[in-house]
Amino acid sequence: MLTIDREIRDAIIAHARRDHPDEACGVVAGPIGTDRPERFIPMLNAAMSTTFYEFDSTDLLRLYREMDDNDEEPVVIYHSHTATEAYPSRTDINLAQEPGAHYVLVSTRDGGAQSGDVDFRSFRIVDGQVTEEEVSVVERYDDVSEAAATPSANLRKAD
């Protein structure tokens, strides 16, 4: 399951809307070993394409060095689909190189580019195998530890 705070989820959606009709892409980094997406890093789609995204290699190298210096790892790797559902394409699957990351897709089709609903989904992609996972949106990550301590606590689901 991906647990993500509402502010970061909303920032990913805003980035997807802002870059539409091109695909948006980026990373959310977090402390190594925590599986906690904390630092939102929107990236430029070097392909500037409506059907494909590509991280600029120089920007990506800089990002990985920065994450290394900060003891971070890519917890979420996200991009948008502008005309299709939020499900990994064959190209997305072939490019997935981070087995520990959550691959988030946002679909801005059918009015989602403005203010309508978007499809926000998360997947694990390991060795070409795609597994969809639940997304839990929380107001603060403190909510997660409180929920673990109190089984009856209700975490908000992505809307």
All residues at 6 or more sequence positions from 66 whose CB lies less than 8 Å from its CB, including other chains: 72
Q: Could you give the CA distance from residue 76 to residue 126 in angstroms, rounded to a whole number?
A: 14
Q: What pLDDT sits at residue 94?
A: 95
Rounded Cα distance between 153 and 85, Å, is 32
- Domain range list for the chain: 2-149
Across the range 51-77, mean pLDDT stands at 97
Place of tokens 């990351």: 101
Q: Is the pLDDT reported for residue 9 higher than 70?
A: yes
Mean pLDDT of 125-134: 97
Q: How confident is the model at residue 115 (pLDDT cuts 50, 70, 90)?
A: confident
Taking the C-alpha atoms of residue 70 and residue 3, their distance in angstroms, rounded to an integer, is 21
Nearest to 157 by CA among 142, 137, 141: 137
The rounded mean pLDDT for the chain is: 89
Question: 124, 146, 152: which is closest to 35 by C-alpha?
Answer: 124
Q: What is the pTM of this model?
A: 0.88
How does residue 118 score in pLDDT terms, banded at 50, 70 and 90?
A: confident
More confident residue, 149 or 102: 102
Q: What is the pLDDT of residue 151?
A: 41
pLDDT of 75 above 60: yes
The reported pLDDT for the residue numbered 143 is 63
CATH class of 2-149: alpha beta
How confident is the model at residue 145, as a pLDDT? Answer: 57
Angle at 66 between CA 95 and CA 26, to 5 degrees: 40
Confidence band for 155, pLDDT divided at 50, 70 and 90: very low
Beta pairing, strands 39-43 & 72-81: unpaired
Cβ atoms of 140 and 153 within 8 Å: the answer is no
**pLDDT for res 144:** 64
